[in-house]
Amino acid sequence: MKILSLSLLFLLAATVSHVRSSASVPGLIELLESNTIFGDEAELLEKEGLSINYHNCRSWHLGVETSNIIDFDTVPANCKDYVEDYLITSKQYQSDSKTVCKEAYFYAKGLALKNDTVNVWIFDIDDTLLSSIPYYAKYGYGTQNTAPGAYWSWLRSGESTPGLPETLHLYRNLLELGIEPIIISDRWKRLSEVTLDNLKAAGVTKWKHLIFKPNHSKLPEVVYKSKVRKSLVKKGYNIVGNIGDQWADLVEDTPGRVFKLPNPLYYVPS
């Protein structure tokens, strides 16, 4: 009887094990089929030239700022109202920028500056010192594709590119601390005249160097700016800080501390 019971127990255990094993298979198949559906949907949307919507645009924006969402051509179509509210209506953009610039100032104020060299701070121009919001507002706050070169044509037209008050305040504070600005722009040198007018109108009139990209250069921004920074260090400058709106402004062997300003409008590869 004991032998029979033991055999029965083994049989029951094997049966339960078989049932559990079999039950897990449909779940795995269902998961794979679900992923396939999402993949097909994304491919279909891409072929039709449609943006993939994000149910929470604030979460999408967080992904952009943390460089987890990259290589996007346009802002998701359903996030137009969110971006407009963020940049214009709610003033959250200004508040976020103020926080970044305030932290940059506290950092700079606490530095023990070197006496045997020139202490400098790197500034980007577009959407750091000067704003491109007026341009992108014409195109659905980044939700619409624009013609190649349209942005540069807009700059050449001389239309006002307003200064960004929070970064301009940091610029003035750094000058008072004895830290000299070096402005590295991704704009081509042929735009230097209109850029100087834009900077002057915004109150930016003092710098150690203002560096433009050589005309028709095809160097990616991240490579170009890294090369410039390395050249400055070789010349003896002490780069204590760097501020920009794209990670491409800040990464790749950059000395000093970097400060990333918010920008949900577009992405520059880094």
**Under 8 Å between Cβ of 246 and 124:** yes
CATH of 92-260, one of 3.40.50.1370, 1.10.3720.10, 3.30.530.20, 3.40.50.1000: 3.40.50.1000
Q: Which two tokens stand for residue 8?
A: 């029965």
**Under 8 Å between Cβ of 174 and 121:** yes
Identity (one letter) of the amino acid at 161?
T
Q: Check pLDDT > 90 for residue 183.
A: yes
Per-residue pLDDT of 111-138, as tens digits, reads 999 999 999 999 999 999 999 999 999 9
Predicted local distance difference test score (pLDDT) of residue 55: 85
Confidence of residue 22 (pLDDT cuts 50, 70, 90): very low
In the chain, domain spans: 92-260
Predicted local distance difference test score (pLDDT) of residue 254: 80
Greater pLDDT, 210 or 1: 210
pTM of the model: 0.81
Per-residue pLDDT of 193-204, as tens digits, reads 999 999 999 999
Q: Check pLDDT > 50 for residue 33.
A: no
Predicted local distance difference test score (pLDDT) of residue 198: 95
Predicted local distance difference test score (pLDDT) of residue 23: 44
Per-residue pLDDT of 71-102, as tens digits, reads 999 999 999 999 999 999 999 999 999 999 99
Which one-letter DSSP state was computed for residue 126?
B
Percentage of the chain modeled with pLDDT above 90: 74
